[in-house]
Amino acid sequence: MLIGYEANNALRNSTPMGDFCRDLIEKMANRYIRDGYRALLFTKGIKKDYRGYFSGNSNVSSYLPVGMSKLMPELWMRYRLNAWLKEEKVKLLHGLNEELPYNIGREVKTVVTCYGIGEHHRASLMDSIMWKGRLRYAFTAADAVVAVSEDVKRQLLEHNVSESKIVVIGVPGRPYEASDEVVEQYYSLYRHLLS
């Protein structure tokens, strides 16, 4: 099972959300290596603190923009990532940062994890508008939208996300905990989407 992750949070974020992403990827890699599980982490850059973070996992690889794409990594993540997905034959992409690349093909199944609408990207009005647009696109394009709590599910429903797409995976009261049960539920979701 080859899973691609939009992994900016995992490799750039030192908040509990980043910890959750790293824990999820690491636990999946350790637990399911016998099943042929491999993770490809797509990120526009790696924060110094997380360089080599997954080096002990032979089934986890990181992909960053190369060549001219280094000059505009945000555009690489939004528009050029699809070429990498095809080249690597990725069949499922998980947007851990609540986002997906634009124009993602239907041959790639997609999952987006939502931690809560309106909690991020308040740096400027323009940033907030752009982020909300990327959220709308991700929720529309995704095959499954994971809500980390029942409260987040209610937020998604209020924003007209189809209830048939929403899957609640999380520890009540602890949305950023990648418990064994949470890891099992994500793995089951991946298997279901790929069957």
With pLDDT > 70 as the criterion, what percentage of the chain qualifies? 97
Q: Tell me which amino acid residue 29 is.
A: A
Range of weakest confidence among 79-83, 143-147, 181-185:
79-83
CA–CA separation, 82 vs 79, rounded Å?
7
More confident residue, 124 or 180: 180
Q: Give the pLDDT of residue 21.
A: 95
Q: Give the pLDDT of residue 190.
A: 95
The arithmetic mean of pLDDT across residues 145-170, rounded, is 94
pLDDT in tens, 171-192: 888 888 999 999 999 999 999 9
Range of weakest confidence among 56-65, 67-76, 87-96:
67-76
Q: Give the pLDDT of residue 110.
A: 95
Residue 12 and residue 45 in contact, taking contact as beta carbons nearer than 8 Å: yes
Q: Give the pLDDT of residue 27.
A: 94
At a CB cut-off of 8 Å and minimum separation 6, what does 160 contact? none
Which residues, listed in sequence order, are joined to residue 113 by a DSSP beta bridge? 146
pLDDT in tens, 26-67: 999 999 988 888 999 998 889 999 998 998 889 999 988 888
Instruction: Report how many helices (DSSP H) and strands (DSSP E) the chain contains, helices first.
Output: 7, 7
Residue 38 and residue 59 in contact, taking contact as beta carbons nearer than 8 Å: yes
pLDDT at 79 over 80: no
Closest CA to 38 of 95, 88, 109: 88
pLDDT at 145 over 80: yes
Mean per-residue pLDDT over the chain, rounded: 88
Q: Tell me which amino acid residue 23 is.
A: D
Provide the pLDDT confidence category of residue 111 given band limits of 50, 70 and 90: very high
Q: Give the pLDDT of residue 120.
A: 55
What Rg, from alpha-carbon coordinates, does the chain have?
Answer: 16
With pLDDT > 90 as the criterion, what percentage of the chain qualifies? 51
pLDDT at 138 over 70: yes
More confident residue, 87 or 143: 143
Q: Give the pLDDT of residue 123.
A: 64
